[in-house]
Amino acid sequence: MKKDAYEQYWEWASKPPESDLSIPASIYNAVMQLSGEDQQDRRKVNAAVRRSRWQAICRGRNEDIYDTAEWTEAAIDDLKASLEHGSTIEEAAGFLCRSGNIQDVERKARELGLPIRGQPR
């Protein structure tokens, strides 16, 4: 059975520090907009995530938390490590929380002369 947003969030929030478990930015961002009390309410968490995803669809695109952020030295280091270890451009964009702006991630990778795997844009 597929986990709802509430279960995904709390599984991630309760994970041990060494775990690589991640959640979509759409879940994280929606839950972070709720009060601490509302984060404990399954109905409110799932409704917030649905509302957030619907708003993104209505805007005609997916958004991630760093889509419009400037490229920091740390983000560039993470991009280099991700691509040099065989990630596709899409996987790297997800890792960098820039999955709504894959074209910018690819542009930066080309600018840096990094290897690019995945669908060309």
Q: How far apart are CA 99 and CA 101, in angstroms?
A: 5
pLDDT tens column, 26-65: 888 889 889 999 999 999 998 888 887 666 655 555 667 7
Give the pLDDT score at 120. 44
Give the pLDDT score at 1. 73
pLDDT tens column, 53-96: 666 655 555 667 777 788 999 899 999 999 998 889 988 888 88
Burial class (CB in 10 A: 0-12, 13-18, 19+), 102: buried
Crossing angle (nearest 10°) for helices 25-32 and 5-13: 90
14 compared with 30, residue with greater pLDDT: 14
Q: How far apart are CA 40 and CA 50, in angstroms?
A: 16
Write out the H or E segment, with its range, that includes residue 51. helix 42-58
Contact 40, 46 (CB under 8 A): no
Q: How far apart are CA 61 and CA 101, in angstroms?
A: 9
Contact 106, 121 (CB under 8 A): yes
Burial class (CB in 10 A: 0-12, 13-18, 19+), 69: middle
Band of residue 11 on the pLDDT scale cut at 50, 70, 90: very high
pTM over 0.85: no
Give the pLDDT score at 121. 41
